[in-house]
Amino acid sequence: MLEFSDVEQAYLASQRLGRLATILPGGYPHNNPVGFALNAALGTIDIGGHNLGASKKFANVRANPKVSFVVDDIVSHSPWQVRGIEIRGEAEALSDVDPLHSGLSRELIRLHPTRIRSWGLLSRVP
């Protein structure tokens, strides 16, 4: 199991939105903004949503668990500085689990990392 560094964990905890890329049945990528939480106990990224079980991304994960997930932001426009993390791995589509937050559905996509790549996480605002 890959582990997130302390810096990567802190960055993920500071962010609320990421982009999940799944694979459509025809082989094309399907990319969506999603809310997420780092599950430090399991070393996973947990993705929830409203009526997640009826979503295309949930169906895509059930059919093909290979995914990519990116969280990034702009630290500064001048000078230009960006930071982020890309996580590739195998995801599972879970049903009847406790939601990440109240009001979300009881489905969850859990991403188990097989590759973690981060950049600019030590950048400071000039």
- Pairwise CA distance, residues 80 & 36, whole Å: 26
Element (H, E) at 17: strand 17-23
Task: Identify the band that residue 101 occupies on the pLDDT scale cut at 50, 70 and 90.
Answer: confident
Angle at 46 between CA 32 and CA 117, to 5 degrees: 75
Task: Identify the band that residue 9 occupies on the pLDDT scale cut at 50, 70 and 90.
Answer: very high
Domains of the chain: 6-119 (2.30.110.10)
Q: pTM of the prediction?
A: 0.92
| Predicted confidence (pLDDT) at residue 1 exceeds the cutoff of 90 | no
From the number of C-beta atoms within 10 Å of its C-beta (0-12, 13-18, 19+), residue 28 rates as exposed
Task: Put residue 113 in one of left, alpha, beta given phi > 0 → left and psi -120 to 50 → alpha.
Answer: beta
| DSSP secondary structure string for all residues of 30-99 | EEEEEEEEEETTTTEEEE--TTGGGSHHHHHHHH--EEEEEEEEEEEETTEEEEEEEEEEEEEEE-S---
For 27-78, write each residue's pLDDT tens digit: 999 999 999 999 999 999 999 999 999 999 999 999 999 999 999 999 999 9
pLDDT of residue 48: 93
Task: Identify the band that residue 124 occupies on the pLDDT scale cut at 50, 70 and 90.
Answer: low
Mean of per-residue pLDDT scores for the chain: 94
Which is higher by pLDDT, 99 or 9?
9
Region of poorest pLDDT, from 74-78, 81-85, 98-102: 98-102
